[in-house]
């Protein structure tokens, strides 16, 4: 049986590990502790999570227990599950992540979906797409896979992040279709270059709120991917101004923004000469995605 997370006895079963580890993670304040241990155990055993329910009486080997013990301890210290297993699912695609990149969130899948819809309906034969702040490359890769004719450029200020993004692109066979550029947003893009679609999931959390975030986010996501300045809108204001010189006449800009920022973001883009065509809400009913074109 599991005396404590530091020591498992021989003969422990899948069900016993799930029960005892769930109790441990709950005491550590981890959300959805049962789901978390099931995902960790499925990772260690290299089986689909649902197959665990058919394997409750299976005894773990010493090696499996040792591996799981380390992962449970790290999860109890609030290291993100995605870092422990090394990947996250984004729009159905497996994306590798580590401490050098922001972990993609489900809300950002809505941004990808809106991009797909517009690209499909635009009628542009070979659209040029720019992903600003690509991080893990999840958006650019999802667009490359769903829109084979698109020509993509993905920029990030972090070379360490681009190492991850390039590896993810290679994992999905689209490394030759995405140009990765290291630099500070549009300063890395040649003057006169025009894009049919500019997309970004920018940092939008107000600086003073970062210390109150969950430890998984506060302590493990790159701060540069979180911190949007005093009001959370600093980078979004840059996008509104600088993107104007890089968008094609009929092009669109789509960005994600934070809770309670919808009207402020509308105002920023309206004042910068953009026509806000739409604001999409996420699965929780919160305004999340802005769609705009030049006036």
Q: Give tens-digit pLDDT for 29-73.
A: 999 999 999 999 999 999 999 999 999 999 999 999 999 999 999
- Segment 94-122, tens digit of pLDDT: 999 999 999 999 999 999 999 999 999 99
- Cβ atoms of 294 and 273 closer than 8 Å: yes
Give the end-to-end CA distance of the chain in Å, rounded to a whole number: 67
pLDDT for 3: 43
Q: CA 58, CA 42: separation in Å to the nearest integer?
A: 13
Among the residues of 77-203, which ranges form H helices? 81-85, 106-122, 138-146, 159-171
The answer to whether 268 touches 247, Cβ cutoff 8 Å, is no
Q: Which residues pair with 274 in a beta bridge?
A: 294
Fold of 101-294: Rossmann fold (3.40.50)
Q: How many residues belong to the chain?
A: 295
Q: What average pLDDT does range 197-210 have in this prediction? A: 98
Beta bridge partner(s), residue 172: none
Tokens standing for 237?
């204001």
pLDDT, the chain, mean:
95
CATH code 3.40.50.150 region(s) in the chain: 101-294
List the strands of the sheet with 128-132, edge to edge.
Answer: 178-182, 151-156, 128-132, 195-200, 247-256, 287-294, 274-281
CATH 1.10.8 maps onto the chain at 2-77
Predicted local distance difference test score (pLDDT) of residue 6: 44
pTM: 0.91
pLDDT at 11: 76
Whole-angstrom distance, CA of residue 103 vs CA of residue 220 = 9
Cα separation of 73 and 28, whole Å? 10
Architecture of domain 2-77: Orthogonal Bundle (1.10)
Cβ 8 vs Cβ 65: under 8 Å: yes
């Amino acid at each position: 049986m599991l005396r404590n997370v530091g020591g498992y006895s021989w003969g422990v079963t899948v069900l016993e590990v799930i029960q005892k580890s769930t109790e441990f993670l709950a005491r550590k304040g981890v959300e959805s502790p049962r789901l978390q241990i099931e995902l960790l155990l499925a990772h260690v055993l290299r089986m689909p999570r649902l197959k665990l329910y058919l394997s409750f009486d299976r005894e773990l080997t010493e090696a499996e227990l040792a591996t799981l013990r380390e992962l449970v301890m790290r999860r109890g210290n609030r290291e993100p599950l995605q870092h422990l297993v090394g990947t996250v699912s984004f729009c159905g695609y497996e994306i590798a992540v580590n401490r050098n990149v922001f972990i993609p969130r489900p809300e950002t899948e809505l941004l990808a979906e809106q991009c797909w819809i517009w690209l499909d309906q635009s009628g542009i034969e070979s659209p040029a797409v720019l992903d600003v702040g690509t991080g893990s490359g999840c958006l650019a890769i999802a667009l490359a896979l769903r829109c084979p004719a698109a020509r993509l450029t993905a920029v990030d200020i972090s070379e360490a992040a681009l190492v991850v993004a390039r590896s993810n692109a290679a994992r999905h066979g689209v490394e030759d279709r995405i140009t990765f550029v290291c630099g500070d947003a549009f300063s890395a893009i040649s003057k006169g270059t025009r894009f049919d679609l500019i997309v970004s999931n920018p940092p939008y959390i107000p600086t003073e709120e970062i210390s109150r975030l969950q430890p998984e986010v506060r302590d493990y996501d790159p701060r540069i991917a979180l911190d949007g300045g005093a009001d959370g809108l600093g980078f979004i204001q840059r996008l509104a101004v600088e993107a104007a010189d890089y968008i094609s006449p009929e092009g669109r800009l789509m960005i994600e923004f934070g809770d309670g920022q919808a009207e402020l973001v509308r105002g920023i883009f309206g004042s910068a000469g953009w026509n806000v065509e739409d604001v999409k809400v996420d699965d929780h009913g919160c305004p999340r995605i802005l769609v705009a074109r030049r006036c």
